[in-house]
Amino acid sequence: MSPTISKILRCLPVLVMGGGEVWAGGAGVAVGPAVGEAERAVDFRTGEGVSLGGVVFPHGHASAVYGKSGLEGGSGLGAGHHDPVEDGWTVPGFEVGASVRLGEFFEGFAVYHGYWENEDPNGYGDSFEEWFGTIRNLPGGLQLRGGRYRNRFGLHNHQHLHAWDWWDTYLVNGRFLGDDGQTTIGGELTWSLPVPWTSVLSVSVGEAQREAHGHGHGHGHGHDDAPLSESGEAVFEGGEAVFDDVLTSVNWTHLWSANDFHQFRAGGSGAWGDNAWGRTTQLYGAHFQYEWRRNGLEPGGAYFRWRTEAMVRTFDAVGGGSAEHGHEEEHGHEEEHGHEEPGHEEHEDAGGRVGSVDDWGIYSSLTYGHPVGAGVVEAALRFDWVADRDEAGLAGRRRISPGVTWFANEQRTFYVRAQYNHDRIDGRGTGDSVWVGFGFNWGGAEVR
């Protein structure tokens, strides 16, 4: 039996909880583990209903951002890989993809993602972000998905760039799930539970994908801020804590409507696997969303959405240096301080320092949308926070972001967004950034 298969089998006992996908987009909410197949008129202007033989449904998305930031550090300060961080223009994403629908049992999706960053020497980069097939409507409310996919973990990770409410990703998602979000090549089983409300449970097992980028910063963006021991050596590199081998993830989401106008959504997520050190990382999350729509189940009208997501992570880390050196340093630290920092345990082995680190973060956002002419104006406010874990080179950070977006129509084919960030980073002080940009979306609902 191969080592990879052995690892997967060892993960199976933890497959006891999980979640499917119940997602919200703009003024409306679509519910279910797969996109519906409602008949709609063909509109070449928006891409709605456009297909090849009623089987292949194309999609296209693009966005560009211009701005200026008072923060120094370039991409090392971006929560996500495609976040705008440098003064001037950035192209966060250019996507061409297609959804495939073959009857009521099979669906598929693939998307190519390109981007351009103005930080030398990056320039243009690209990847096939997702490619997967889904077997739907299996007995017992089951659905099976396989291929390369964005994991269903909380509210944000499964979303593509064009579905975001902001030009940059949430701090907690970038730190804990990687600066491109958590993606897996593997298989996922989703179960719609037979209960009066919507309850969807998903379990995924596969190989965690960790993208390699050429601009020199790592996942977690902590390389430039690695903490120094008394001898001047870095203790741990927090960017290595992201998943880097066989990954098991689960997500369980419940959606309940008080009536046609008020809807609640809540759930939990978990992920377990090896990190880049070959040690263990555990990640747990909880998410909540409330949404009000003036027109209820009818299209259009004003809407309000409040969403919050919190995560906590524990990871085992390995630092450089010999056991003898680490032993001397640890004793010197104990003599001076007389205690260990909360959330951090450390000892030595033959390979150097070994430690266990606890980390956590949260975001909360408020969004209000109102129809204006044929389109929608959406005002939003976001708060992000991640903890200060000096021993892992992960600086504490708080960010407040107001923003406003104008969508030209209800299909959100074209939009213009302005966003302001006020950051406070431990050890670096405060900084302000302003980003203004536009985007295009073409095509109907994507298979998710």
User: What are the CA-CA distances from residue 37 to residues 64, 351, 390, 403, 444 (Å)?
Assistant: 31, 56, 50, 33, 10
- CA separation for the pair 305, 24 (Å, rounded): 9
- Residue 100 C-alpha from the chain's centroid: 24
176: nearest Cα among 418, 428, 437, 389: 389
Contacts of 122 (CB under 8 A, 6+ apart): 75, 213, 214, 215
Number of domains in the chain: 1
- Residue 410 C-alpha from the chain's centroid: 25
Structural domain range at position 129: 3-442
Q: Is 406 among the domain residues?
A: yes
Q: Is 367 among the domain residues?
A: yes
pLDDT tens over the chain, length 448 residues: 444 444 434 443 333 333 333 334 333 333 344 444 445 589 999 999 999 999 999 999 999 999 999 887 666 677 888 899 888 999 999 999 999 999 999 999 999 999 988 776 567 888 899 999 999 999 999 999 999 999 999 999 999 999 999 999 999 999 999 888 999 999 999 999 999 999 999 999 999 997 655 443 333 343 334 443 333 344 778 888 899 999 999 999 999 999 999 999 999 999 999 998 899 999 999 999 999 999 998 989 999 999 999 999 999 988 754 333 333 333 343 444 444 445 555 555 545 578 888 999 999 999 999 999 999 999 999 999 999 988 888 889 999 999 999 999 999 999 999 999 999 998 888 999 999 999 999 999 999 8
Q: Is 71 among the domain residues?
A: yes
Q: Is 167 among the domain residues?
A: yes
Q: Is 113 among the domain residues?
A: yes
Q: Is 138 among the domain residues?
A: yes
Partner residues linked to 183 by β-bridges: 150, 209
Q: Is 436 exposed, middle or buried (0-12, 13-18, 19+ CB in 10 A)?
A: middle
- The CATH number linked to 83 is 2.40.160.10
Radius of gyration of the chain (CA): 22
User: What are the CA-CA distances from residue 395 to residues 195, 239, 340, 410 (Å)?
Assistant: 43, 12, 18, 40
Q: Is 447 among the domain residues?
A: no
Under 8 Å between Cβ of 152 and 251: yes
- CA separation for the pair 350, 375 (Å, rounded): 63
Question: What global pTM score does this model have?
Answer: 0.82
Q: Is 339 among the domain residues?
A: yes
252: nearest Cα among 201, 217, 215: 201
The total number of residues written for the chain in this structure: 448
Give me the half-sphere count of Cα atoms (radius 13 Å) on the Cβ side of residue 164: 25
**Residue type (1 letter), 127:** S
